[in-house]
Structure 1
Amino acid sequence: MTALLPLAYGYVRDDLLSNRDPRVCDKILRAAAKSLGYALGTVFHERGAEGTTLPPVFIDLVQECRRARACTVLTLPGHLSGASVCHRVLLAILEARAEAAIQEVRP
């Protein structure tokens, strides 16, 4: 019998990819999840969060983490920066609302 791995989700800001195919980022996050001992669920792609109080796809991510009780979100370096909300606020929201933490992985 195979044990179930803990669930993680991914979060990527597509506007920060600089000509990188989003599918490549998904593969990077999947490989990182596997090496860290997680099963990666959906990778949430934020197209751009300018002009919003909270990035809308980030809100969806928090709700899904809460629903599924996933405690880890994998992302690429800097993908929680540059939003209109400080990345510390986003981390606090994720922790308080979903009891989840961000882990940045290097490509």
Structure 2
Amino acid sequence: MTTLLPLAYGYLRDDLLRDPNSSENRLRTVACSLGYALGAVFHEPSPQNGTLPPAFVNLVQECRRAEARTVLTLHGHLSGMAVCRMVLLAILDVRAEVAVQEVEP
């Protein structure tokens, strides 16, 4: 019998990526090493002004829908936006009960 791994999602900001495929592969490798199946990787276009980033909102909704409890992202990809990192982490925690793991590129 095949065991289903717990689901994790990825989050990347495109403005910080040199090679999107390599970055996604890094998240997949980390997910596998941590015992997760990596679902979709949400890509954020250039940071928005003063609003929650749209791909981030979609990520929160999908985590709630799928009951995923982990988001993997590269270090720094939740920083430097109009909405501060601590607010984004709090939204993931409170709205979707998700823990974030930031990994080195």
User: Shorter-normalised TM-score: what interval?
Assistant: over 0.9
What is residue 34 of structure 1 aligned with on the other side?
A: 32
Query: Quick one: distance in 2 between partners of 1:51 and 1:85?
Result: 8
Ranges in structure 2 where 5+ consecutive residues have no aligned partner: none
Query: Quick one: distance in 1 between partners of 2:79 and 2:16?
Result: 10
- What is the percentage of aligned positions where both structures have the same residue? 69
Deviation at 1:65, TM superposition (A): 0.2
What is residue 48 of structure 2 aligned with on the other side?
A: 50
Structure 2 residue matching 1:91: 3-state secondary structure: helix
Query: Quick one: distance in 2 between partners of 1:50 and 1:82?
Result: 11
What is residue 12 of structure 2 aligned with on the other side?
A: 12
Letter matched to residue 76 of structure 1: L
Structure 2 residue matching 1:66: 3-state secondary structure: helix
What is residue 73 of structure 2 aligned with on the other side?
A: 75
Structure 2 residue matching 1:23: 3-state secondary structure: helix
Moved over 2 A (4+): none
Query: Quick one: distance in 1 between partners of 2:71 and 2:50?
Result: 21
The alignment yields a C-alpha RMSD, in angstroms, of: 0.8
Deviation at 1:52, TM superposition (A): 3.8
Structure 1 residue matching 2:31: 3-state secondary structure: helix
Letter matched to residue 6 of structure 2: P
Letter matched to residue 10 of structure 1: G
Query: Quick one: distance in 2 between partners of 1:55 and 1:45?
Result: 10
Aligned length: 105
